[in-house]
Structures are given as structure tokens and as C-alpha cells.
Amino acid sequence: MNESKPLALGTLTMAAHQVALQIFWTLTYFVDPLFVAATSFIARDHGRRPVRVRRMAWLLMGMSLLVGMVIACGSVAIPTFGVQIFTKDLELQAVIRSVTPLMGASQLISALVLVTEGVLIGCGDLRYLLNVHCLNFGVLGLVLWYVRVSGGGLDGIWMAVFLNQAMRMGQHCVHMFNGGGPDLFERKAVPEYSGMSEGI
């Protein structure tokens, strides 16, 4: 009977990654209501009420940072104080705890990225998002390949996760600064509405 081929990064590393990833993705669901609000409310008013769209975009992204801070703390606290729920192996527990700073930082940026992309979807910037995600998919693949050949282990995997989120946020900032999305910096002329003002 043939023995199964060992995992490329090692069984311990991949087991720790699975636990860390499940904690990470479970907590991201707390950002979903803001993402849904962004895609629906921004799409409803985009092109008709630019002042309202801009204010709503700032509000939603600000709220995403607050939620991101909370779930980032959860991403650190759960593996640090509750990792024994997932495994009794002390070595595995130590490996999981070693990446909690990267998990927390990635979670914070991920919350902002998710809501920002909801805003951009609401503004109809789908082609831009398609191009960005295709580019980032290739870049992330190269980074993970380097992690494997360099023996970066679990730290390398989570550094790649963090870099992916940071790169996306940087791209979205540049895109919106250049006039894409909801015109956050009021560069476009706002049509006047007689007898009414736009609120949030």
C-alpha cells in the first residue's frame, strides 16, 4: 500500500493554517451587512444624488474600520486564549498563536477593502474590479510560490494574505483619488436641486 504524499509545506503548517483561516473567514461575516448596504444604497443613488453617495461612502467605510478593529481583536484573542478549542496539540497551538498579529492586521484591512469594493460595485466600477482581481490573483500566486520555495511556512502564508489585502486597498485608494467610484474628493460638479437638500 502506497503512503500518501506529504503536504508541500508540512502537515503541521497546513493544519495551523486551516484553523487560522477558519477563524479569519468566520469573523469576516460581521462585515457583510456593511457590504450589502454599500452595494444597494450606493447603487440606488449613484448618478442621481452625488452628495448623498459621497457621504454614504465615507460613512460606510468609516464604520467598516470600526467593525474591522473589533474583529481584528477577535482574530488575535481567539487563537491566543481559545486555541485549545480547536486542538489539544501544544506545538500546533504555538504555531497558530505565532501568526495572530498578521491575522489581526489582515482582518482590519480586509474589512475596509470589502466595504470599499461594495461601494465601487454600487458605482458600477466592475471592469476596474475585474482587472484588479485578475492582476492580484497572479501576484498572489507568485508570492505563495516564493513562500513555498523559500520555506516561509505559516508566517509566509499570512504575510501573503496581509500583502494581498494591503495591495487591494492601495489600488482602490489610487483609483478613487483619480476620480473613480463615488467622487470622495468632490472633484466633479454637483448638480443643483431646487427646493431640497441631500442628506444621508
pLDDT along the chain (200 residues), means of 10: 48 88 93 94 89 93 96 94 90 92 96 96 94 95 91 90 95 92 73 46
Q: Please report the pLDDT score of residue 9 as a whole number.
A: 60
Residue 3 lies in a domain: no
Q: How many residues does the chain have?
A: 200
Residue 96 lies in a domain: yes
Residue 161 lies in a domain: yes
- Residues 6+ away with beta carbon under 8 Å from 143: 160, 163, 164
11-28 helix and 90-98 helix, angle to the nearest 10 degrees: 50
Q: Please report the pLDDT score of residue 194 as a whole number.
A: 41
Q: What is the DSSP string of 29-82?
A: GGGHHHHHHIIIIIHHHTTT-HHHHHHHHHHHHHHHHHHHHHHHHHHHHHHHHH
Residue 4 lies in a domain: no
Residue 137 lies in a domain: yes
Q: Please report the pLDDT score of residue 8 as a whole number.
A: 55
Q: Please report the pLDDT score of residue 191 as a whole number.
A: 53
Cα separation, 57 vs 118, in Å, equals: 9
Residue 5 lies in a domain: no
> Which residue range forms the structural domain that includes residue 23?
11-177
CB 39 within 8 Å of CB 125: no
Query: Domain tally for the chain?
Result: 1
Backbone φ, ψ for residue 183 (5° rounding):
55, 55
Smallest CA-to-CA distance from 79 within 67, 94, 97 is with 97
Residue 134 lies in a domain: yes
